Amino acid sequence: DTGVSQDPRHKITKRGQNVTFRCDPISEHNRLYWYRQTLGQGPEFLTYFQNEAQLEKSRLLSDRFSAERPKGSFSTLEIQRTEQGDSAMYLCASSLGAGGFYEQYFGPGTRLTVT
Amino acid sequence: KNEVEQSPQNLTAQEGEFITINCSYSVGISALHWLQQHPGGGIVSLFMLSSGKKKHGRLIATINIQEKHSSLHITASHPRDSAVYICAVRSQGAQKLVFGQGTRLTINP
């Protein structure tokens, strides 16, 4: 399967712990997006990369959140000192992003539960 | 007021019924997406459109740019259509998607 993959699919952690999620986009896609979805809501934008450059960050992305895409391929999202409010589904998407009309392809998501 | 509003939030129908889900947005857009999300979280793109109408199987999506409104129709609905349907827009000049809250559709046999 050559779609977007995310790891892990589920993560349960205790409040105050650090967690890191990984996203592997479709191989030729140069744009990668992170979204967060809480129960009963639509996804919300967190950040996006074009190749290795992080071009936009949402105000939702507090100082405890950091995202990287070191070689322009896979990306990681780290949450430090997790809080119960961080419990959500974290979705990754990728696109070709050649400008104009493009489609974002979503991964299966990582469901985070902070206890 | 959210940039993207969907209605209804929940919809229950009988198998075979014609389904309409509505999406209104408040900003100028370059594209509107209709997405489907099944339990477990995976999101699948159904349509991406910037004008007119698109059809794929039993699904039809329309958009009226002047009225800032889009509809997703499902003909001859089936229990396997049960899912959350999400409308998302990409503002002109922006890269990120802004999502509606989703419409939870349940089709009973």
Q: What is the sign, positive or negative, of the torsion defined by CA atoms of B79, B82, B47, B16?
A: positive
Closest by CA to A111, choosing from B36, B37, B33, is B37
| Angle ∠(A16,A17,A23) on CA atoms, nearest 5 | 130
Express each pLDDT in B62-81 by its tens digit. 999 999 999 999 999 999 99
* Per-residue pLDDT at A33 exceeds 90: yes
Query: CA B87, CA B84: separation in Å to the nearest integer?
Result: 10
Interface residue A99 vs chain B (CB under 8 A): no
Express each pLDDT in B100-109 by its tens digit. 999 999 999 9
Whether B96 and A45 lie within 8 Å, measured CB to CB:
yes
- Residue A40: closest CA among chain B residues belongs to which residue? B101
The DSSP output letter for A96 is -
* Contact present, A50 and A30 (Cβ < 8 Å): yes
* Per-residue pLDDT at A31 exceeds 60: yes
- Residue A106: closest CA among chain B residues belongs to which residue? B43
Query: CA B6, CA B8: separation in Å to the nearest integer?
Result: 6
Closest by CA to B77, choosing from B8, B10, B34, B20, is B20
* Contact present, A3 and A106 (Cβ < 8 Å): no
What proportion of chain A, given as a percentage, has pLDDT over 90?
80
A positions 11-30 inside 8 Å of B (CB):
none
Pairing of strands A10-13, A110-114: parallel
Q: How far is A112 from chain B (nearest CA, A)?
A: 12
Phi and psi at residue B72, to the nearest 5°: -115, 125
Whether A41 and B30 lie within 8 Å, measured CB to CB:
no
Interface residue A101 vs chain B (CB under 8 A): yes
Q: Which of B30, B35, B43, B48 is the best substitution to test chain A (most A C-beta atoms within 10 A)?
A: B43
Whether A103 and B50 lie within 8 Å, measured CB to CB:
no
Rounded to the nearest integer, the mean pLDDT of chain B is 93
Query: CA B45, CA A3: separation in Å to the nearest integer?
Result: 13
The CB density around residue A47, as the number of other CB atoms within 10 Å, is: 22
* Per-residue pLDDT at B15 exceeds 90: yes
Query: CA A32, CA B92: separation in Å to the nearest integer?
Result: 19
